[in-house]
């Protein structure tokens, strides 16, 4: 619920910016009346992991906001090394979220996490729209892929 609220606030902020502002980014917004934005979620629900990561991006800030939390899957985080990455449709890692998220492990899951990343999530989702196996979020355990979930755009 909080996530939806945040998106709404962002959007209304963008719309209420004075029309006279000379910033080229704002001018672009004036022409389009509102800014393009995307909200996507990746839900992990398999025999290992249970959790969700969501992403919002708008072309006003050109920043991707990441939120999420896991309830299970991170076994022995002191011994095992876990990474969360963004993979393109071919499975190639295009962004490594691990350091940005700074995951705090509790009882096999994580505390809620939040980060802003300098990454165009809208472009990431458009890499290959036609293929069923599109952009995804992957979890690597000790540098081996161990789970992944598609990044699915949600309608506002
Ligand atoms: C992601 O970053 C972590 C922490 O720096 C590193 O251990 C890991 O090897 C990286 N994974 C990939 C696929 O780049």
Q: pLDDT of 1-53, one tens digit each? A: 444 444 444 444 444 445 555 555 555 545 555 678 899 999 999 999 999 99
d(CA 152, CA 150): 6
Q: Is 99 in the pocket of ligand 1 (CB under 6 A)?
A: yes
Q: What is the DSSP letter of 91?
A: S
DSSP three-state, residue 53: strand
d(CA 156, CA 65): 16
* Dihedral angle, C-alpha 6, 9, 11, 12, nearest 10 °: 170
Q: How many Å lie between the centroid of ligand 1 and the Cα of residue 137? A: 14
Q: How many Å lie between the centroid of ligand 1 and the Cα of residue 153? A: 25
Alpha-helical regions (H) of 1-144: 2-15, 24-32, 98-101, 121-126
Q: What is the pLDDT of residue 8?
A: 42
Strand partners, 115: 66
Average pLDDT of the chain is: 82
Give yes or no for a contact between 137 and 151, defined as CB atoms under 8 angstroms apart.
yes
110-133 pLDDT per residue, tens = 999 999 999 999 889 886 555 555
Q: Is 93 in the pocket of ligand 1 (CB under 6 A)?
A: yes
Question: pTM, whole model, 2 decimals?
Answer: 0.77
């Amino acid at each position: 619920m909080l996530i939806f609220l945040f998106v709404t606030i962002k959007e209304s902020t963008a719309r209420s910016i004075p029309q006279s502002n000379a910033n080229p980014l704002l001018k672009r917004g004036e022409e389009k009346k509102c800014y393009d934005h995307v909200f996507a979620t990746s839900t992990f629900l398999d025999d290992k992991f249970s959790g969700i990561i969501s992403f919002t991006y708008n072309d006003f800030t050109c920043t991707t906001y990441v939120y999420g939390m896991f309830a299970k899957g991170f076994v022995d985080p002191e011994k095992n090394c876990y990474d969360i990455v963004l993979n393109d449709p071919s499975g190639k890692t295009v962004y490594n979220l691990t350091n940005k998220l700074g995951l705090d492990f509790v009882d096999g899951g994580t505390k809620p996490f939040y980060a802003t990343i300098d990454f165009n999530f809208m472009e990431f989702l458009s890499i290959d729209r036609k293929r069923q196996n599109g952009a995804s979020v992957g979890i690597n355990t000790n540098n081996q892929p161990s789970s992944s979930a598609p990044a699915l755009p949600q309608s506002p």
